[in-house]
Amino acid sequence: MNKDSIIGVIGAGAMGSGIAQVAAMAGHNVVLFDTNAAALDKAKASLTTTLNKLAEKGKIADASVVLARFQFATELQAFADCGLVIEAIIENLDIKKKVFADVEAVVSESCVLATNTSSLSVTSIAAACKKADRVIGLHFFNPAPLMALVEVIPAVQTDAALVSTCKELMAAWGKAPVITKDTPGFIVNRVARPFYGEAIRIYEEGIADIPTIDWAMTEIAGFRMGPFTLTDYIGHDVNYVVTETVFQSFFYDPRYKPSFSQKRLLEAGWLGRKTGRGFYNYAEGIAQPEPTKDTTLGNKIAERIIAMLINEAVEALHLNIASAKDLELAMTKGVNYPKGLLQWCDEWTAEKCLSILDGLYNDYHEDRYRASVLLRRMAADNKKFLS
């Protein structure tokens, strides 16, 4: 696998076509596959429009040259000469495993097979293949052409040399690759859970309303979007399912427990912006509610959520899910946090973070608020995570 390899992409949806665009713009010939011919036609039209706009803005020299690198296919046999095939389809383990087994029967012995899964076990997917050591996770973030982060996830079976090869390839594509263990949620979807979950908990307890919590996290904490605005943007059909998957995958650890408030929105079909209703009402003419701009309350909200986020990052470091550098890169490049969570902890001090968490634990006596043993050690020794 190198810069001249043909790249295959399975799935012509927004993610699949976005990954295909990234590969083509990096100079690769690309085979974009979907069983649905209409989806392929839609992807082709969208890619044509996007690349022409990029050419008009001077970001690429010639749209037609990039478009000429694409082959649109409805038969798996089109992957026969690919050096790398990336799957970007529905988050269903059984379907993914069948697809990988089918693709393996078509490609060469040296072809690398990658999954774009955001929450499923790469090891389980690899187990569907006879040559499981060629399987790896390459988790892009949506929209793939704009988001820099790619999580590189080796399965238990993955050839160790393949990890560095894929990391180098992603860097050559202009991405910011990080290496993470094959554990539920990887880095971003694991560490980010409290941003949503703790915000909803604060709302459910009546400590503050939705616009006030969003205001606290944007105006005081410096995040680009508040948690409720962001979940409405992502869609509750996506965000809630990831939360539920992570919760179940971690053997029902209360730190990742989903909320009834979000589940009810999903049941009502109020999925957020895409349906016009979620935590907020997006109907035309509806004025959004104003926050209560109480700085004391806002600081209390921000500190509680940030402390929970920091604790997740510290625990991920403690369990060797990723390096400190990759944890920081993942949260700043993957979800655009204003700063890395370990840096945030260093600025606050581990002692302050621990004090907030222990205060919550003493109030609630819930395992949800247990502090990472590494955070406790760093606080006791007055140490920082980053030099």
Catalytic residues: 118, 139, 151, 189
Residue 281 gets which letter from DSSP?
B
Could you tell me the end-to-end alpha-carbon distance of the chain, in angstroms, rounded to an integer?
Answer: 36
**Tokens standing for residue 67:** 């478009």
Q: How far is CA 283 from CA 206, 228, 230, 274, in A?
A: 25, 17, 17, 11
In sequence order, the 6+-apart residues with CB closer than 8 A to the CB of 375 are 310, 311, 314, 315, 345, 350, 353, 354, 357
**Residue 358 half-sphere exposure toward CB, CA atoms < 13 A:** 10
Q: How many CB atoms lie within 10 A of CB 350?
A: 26
Q: How many helices (H) and strands (E) does the chain have?
A: 17, 8
Q: How far is CA 61 from CA 21, 23, 49, 52, 58, in A?
A: 15, 16, 15, 10, 6
Q: How far is CA 132 from CA 80, 83, 91, 153, 182, in A?
A: 18, 16, 20, 14, 14
Residue 217 gets which letter from DSSP?
I
Strands 84-87 and 7-10, sheet pairing? parallel
260, burial (CB in 10 Å: exposed 0-12, middle 13-18, buried 19+): exposed
